[in-house]
Chain A
Amino acid sequence: MKTINQLQDEIISEFALLEGDTEMTLFYIMELGEKLEPMKEADKTDDNLVKGCQSKVWLTARLENDRVWFSADSNTAITKGLVSLLVRIFNGQTPDDIIHADLYFISKIGMERFIGTQRSNGFAAMVKQIKLYALALKTKQEV
């Protein structure tokens, strides 16, 4: 099992091959999105929508053997690609590791456009939701 930072570094080196070309980077992100494990249609409810995203993002989480597993989808290809990167990094991690994770990969792959600006709210909101899920599952685990 790779750590969150090992996975981030793996993503950074994959994207380095695109040499900072914005269009190629977006194309690659969309390709990754297509490989995301399909989400159950029944889970695409308003309750599972991540608030604060310009596009629709559905996200659910469950605890299995003390590890958190995510399922996600989006109605836009780029956002789906971005959320697939998050799922790849966080799937199978412990709640604690997720809560304390420092996400540095997004600016390293030239996609800082999705952080801290109007569009980013999307990305920031997804990360926040992932951490909230981890916190909730950790609380449940301790009860």
Chain B
Amino acid sequence: MNPASVTALNVDEIRKQFPVLNRKVNGKPLIYFDNAATSQKPISVIEALAEYYRNYNANIHRGIHTLAEEATKAYEHTREQARAFINAASPREIIFVRGVTEGINLVAASYGRAFLRNNDEVIISGLEHHSNIVPWQLICGQTGAKLKVIPVSESGEIDLEAFTRLLSSRTRIVAVNHASNSLGTINPIKEIIRLAHGAGAVVLIDGAQAGAHLPIDVQELDCDFYCLSSHKMYGPTGTGILYGKSHLLEKMPPYQGGGEMIKEVTFEKTTWNDLPYKFEAGTPNIADVIAFGKAMEFIRQTGRDVIEQHEQALLRYATEKVGSLPGVRLIGTAPQKVSVLSFVVDGIHPFDVGQLLDARGIAVRTGHHCTQPLMDRYGIEGTVRASFAVYNTFAEVDALTEGVRRVINFMR
């Protein structure tokens, strides 16, 4: 069967919306397979950025003039879009941050500092990005809490039994990703959240690799915190959201002090603004937030199920094609994965594979993908990672396969 026929998506039409896909790299048409690092941007996002600066650039919330009102309205419109995108109960639960990293740091610093005590425990998994490891190490160092790690199986899945054994009355926070950036594994977060709640812990989900690929319903998941990065979901860099249940956000102290986050300031005492503004000190990243709204609109209009179906077909095709090349070993073979194909080639360093693919215009990522403990788990220095997005095609996967085959033929 022609693999293209299994997908309902008109990829040619989608590709027309992404100007960068027209460019050449080393004389070859760009094939962009580094989407797990950052995705490319549709014209609607690019134009929204320019439109803001061209027509209604103003500082938001306290201005009484027309431009300030327009900018405020557009900014708050994105908050409502984000609320709908993850089905939060209220826009008060949506805090704009720089991205997932800042979202996790905010929760670790604010919730962690307020509620972690000596010998309390924080549980993360062996699949985490450094962003979901280091903030917890920092706060554990400051509070005397202990960091525990759920082991990962050979296929790259979280060991749920081990997790239940780690849970105890000392567990305060569980922080895991929705999907792994290195391997693609989709974690059973609903079950993790249920188990953690049973032990009385709150749960933070790092949604960096889910935002562009999976449906997200924070109420159905019942997670306490959920983080997203705009730039991995067709939006601009430098913005993202932290979702938090309002009753938790209300009892958390502010993360940063400054303008916007206050109600009243005297030199004796300052009172905090209401949610979500309590956590948005200073002039926010207005333009990028507004354009982020266009990115979520792009995903919604294209259809999350259609995107998922297309990417899953690409993943299956690439797994079969690249996976059957001599000497290629796939790293991460969980049955449920987002569109990430991580692999190593026997006797060939990922750096060489990546450089040689780049010579053919193919952008992949090589290295440890900010998950050094996970690479240690597999006893490897790093992998070659190809990650697919809505605009990728089966022909591009063929080019990747051919590229890797050439590297193997030359070097083995």
Contact = CB atoms under 8 A, between A and B. Distances in A.
Given A22-B26, A27-B410, A30-B411, A76 B351 contact: yes
B349 interface: yes
Interface stretch (B58-66, B156-164, B252-260, B355-363): B355-363
B351 A78 contact: yes
B346 interface: no
Interface in A2-60: 21-23, 25-27, 30, 54-55
B348 interface: yes
B352 A77 contact: yes
A80 to B, nearest CB: 9
Contact of A77 (B27, B359, B406, B411): B411
Contacts of B355: 26, 78
A75 interface: yes
A46 to B, nearest CB: 15
A79 interface: yes
B239 to A, nearest CB: 24
A78 B359 contact: no
A93 to B, nearest CB: 29
Interface residues of A, number: 14
Interface in B304-324: none
Main secondary structure of the interface of B (DSSP, over half): helix
Most-contacted residue by chain A among B351, B356, B406 (CB, 10 A): B351
B373 interface: no
B352 to A, nearest CB: 5
A78 B410 CA distance: 13
A56 to B, nearest CB: 9
B356 A54 contact: no
B351 A55 contact: yes
Interface string B389-412: 000000000000000001000110
B383 to A, nearest CB: 14
B351 A79 contact: yes
B351 A26 contact: no
A125 B222 CA distance: 50
Most-contacted residue by chain B among A21, A22, A26 (CB, 10 A): A22
Interface of B: 26-27, 348-349, 351-352, 355-356, 358-360, 367, 406, 410-411
20 contacts: A21-B27, A22-B27, A23-B26, A23-B356, A23-B359, A23-B360, A26-B356, A26-B359, A27-B410, A30-B411, A54-B351, A54-B367, A55-B349, A55-B351, A76-B349, A77-B348, A77-B349, A77-B411, A78-B351, A79-B351
Q: Which 6 A-B pairs have the closest CB atoms?
A: A23-B359, A22-B359, A76-B349, A22-B26, A76-B351, A77-B352
